[in-house]
Amino acid sequence: MDRGNIIKQQLKKSGGAVCVNGGEAFYAVVTHLWRRKSSSFESIATELGLVNPKYYLYIGPYDVDINEFDENAVLTFDGDTFEFKVKDRVAAGGSVLYYTGILRKTGEAE
């Protein structure tokens, strides 16, 4: 089994089911990206109300190329919705191992 597949199997064990734009579900790790600045924990007062932007780390399988999703792509995980802020491919030895990225939460489950 190649390394990309091994990582995919691990993601199945350690990750959760996600889907993009309502498509077929796959397994990925989505974890909160805690930042060191304490201000990241505070809401920002805007003219429209208080906003608390939250960022997450995404690690997904080699066979779901997140670079193919456009900027309006919506990832759903556990009822919450996210948008991709950064997308990257991790490869070694000429083959893709996994995809990683930074997500921003755009909506919370009711």
Partner 1 sequence: MTTENLIDGIVSLLGNALEGVEVIRAYPERQIQPRLVQKTVAVGFDGTELSSSSLDSSERSGEYRVFADIFVPASFGSGETAEIFNRICDAYSAFNILSLSAERISFDSVLSAYVLKTSATFGGEYEIGGADDE
Of the two residues 12 and 104, which places its CB atom closer to partner 1 in the complex?
104
Asked if 32 touches partner 1 (CB under 8 A), the answer is no
Residue 64, token pair as written in the block? 């779901």
Asked if 104 touches partner 1 (CB under 8 A), the answer is yes
Q: Which range touches partner 1 (CB under 8 A), out of 5-13, 38-46, 62-70, 88-96? A: 38-46
Contact between residue 57 and residue 30 where contact means Cβ atoms under 8 Å apart? yes
- Radius of gyration of the chain, Cα coordinates, nearest whole angstrom: 15
Residue 93, token pair as written in the block? 């030895």
Judged by DSSP in three states, 80 sits in strand
Of the two residues 26 and 83, which places its CB atom closer to partner 1 in the complex?
83
Asked if 106 touches partner 1 (CB under 8 A), the answer is yes
Return the H-helix or E-strand segment holding 88: strand 80-92
Q: How far apart are CA 55 and CA 66, in angstroms?
A: 17
Hey, which residues between 45 and 74 contact partner 1 (CB under 8 A)?
A: 45-54, 72
Binding residues for partner 1, how many (CB under 8 A)? 19
Query: Which residues lie near partner 1 (CB under 8 A)?
Result: 43-54, 72, 83, 104-108
